[in-house]
Structure 1
Amino acid sequence: MGYSFQETQLPLPANVTDLNGTLIFSQVSNDQRGQYTCFASNSQGQISATVSISVVVAPKFSVPPEGPIEVTESGTAVIHCQAIGEPKPTIQWDKDLAYLNENNTDGDRFTLLENGTLEIRNVQAEDEGRYGCTIGSSAGLKRADVLLVVKSAKSASNSIVTRIIIVIICLAFLYFVLVLGLKVWYRYRRHLGKVQLEDATHAPTCDGHEHAEHEPCLTEANNSSKNLKSKLRESTILEQESQVADDIV
């Protein structure tokens, strides 16, 4: 008597071995599913039997629910949950461990999309809680949950006002720092001008020299006088700028 196995109309796939009439599957995958036929024959004839092999893959999340999710009252919450596996997993949602169904949810607000995502429109305060997504098939079950936080419209408005106030305070602080820096700079320039003015005032004169030597000294005196007038003008301008800075502060 002889035995032989083969997949219907096809040779045995990889990782499937026929050992004395027994099929051994290793590294099982979807490629090995199908119908397998066993043929037995002897001098009296041949018989066969066919068996169907199904391969199941444990479900797993392709897009798990992630959070916490914050939404304002009357807004829309979208909680994602997608899964893969063989056979295709089913998806069931629950809120605080109570399964969601048409009896305990508002069908006009709660919608389960084809890809498993849960959409909640016109969110209310009582919708807050932990939402769990359970994926399952004949290969097993898995569950993941996420916290949905519902903020009141008043709270959201207060949050916006708070942010605006913070921005205004920051701008005011930057303005103060800028003005203070200008004030320090003007005072420094005024001080520098005074020092230069004092140096020009105490410049040496031509007293005690002969008349012949007065000519170049007169030229230097004229230049010194011009420089002195220029320094006086600069000092006056600096005084005015500093006063403006003081007025701003």
Structure 2
Amino acid sequence: MLTEVIATRYVTPLREGGSLPGIVEGDDLGTYVMKFTGAGQGRKTLVAEVICGRLGHRLGLRVPELVRMQLDPVIGLGEPDQEVQELLKASSGLNLGMDYLPGSLGFDPLAFEVGPEEAGRVVWFDALINNVDRSWRNPNLLVWHGRLWLIDHGATMIWHHNWPTAPAAAGKPYDASDHVLASFGPDLAAATADLAPRVTEELLAEAAADVPDEWLADEPGFDTPDALRRAYVETLAERAATIHTRITLGPRRDDKPSQAPDWLRVRVDGKAAT
């Protein structure tokens, strides 16, 4: 179960993300990046953050600690930005906080080297959760104290926006040719051998159990939050078993060329891009 923290001060918005997360202080004296239930993407973004974040942590990947965060929108009354005030008003109650990493830098593949083993683990994990938001355009990786940290998993598990598609999603391939770590020679064989056996239904159930009931309630086709949790577990468990056979690395097909910059295509292809 995630620790619960009460937000005591809204510090500043983070305008890099479309959901307008904000930096807040908690009653435990910690500082967090808060993601809001009232944001345009809705509560499913937070569900994805919890399941993928907790799963990544259990697999040994570096993901900021997550907390349940209670918000009284009155703390935003002094915020001059009307958009922020409206977001806080719409997000009264339970939201999601993730540990703020002070001094962290956005990952730059030209400035920070990633080994094949770590690159393979990240790519395999992203393939499992069908992360479409770890490309060279928007890496969603931070470097903190010389180590790589994974953030922002709200755009994963696309099938949960349309549950009837989930059975087909379990067998869907993952094109990693534009993944920000594709150029570091990801060792997918080692990642598969290490991670795939660990993604058991029990492990997935532990991650899904951390999602608050109120974010899972009233989903069409599911009678209870636990029934919905089970659907996440079954889809991810089936995907984990064979996803390594459906990961595409390297240059895209001729009819769908990579849009990556030349330096990235050179690193992946081993030759100059034409």
More contact order relative to length (CA 8 Å, sep ≥ 6): 2
Q: Same fold (TM over 0.5)?
A: no
Q: What's the TM-score, normalizing by structure 1?
A: 0.19
TM-score, length basis structure 2: 0.18
More strand by share: 1
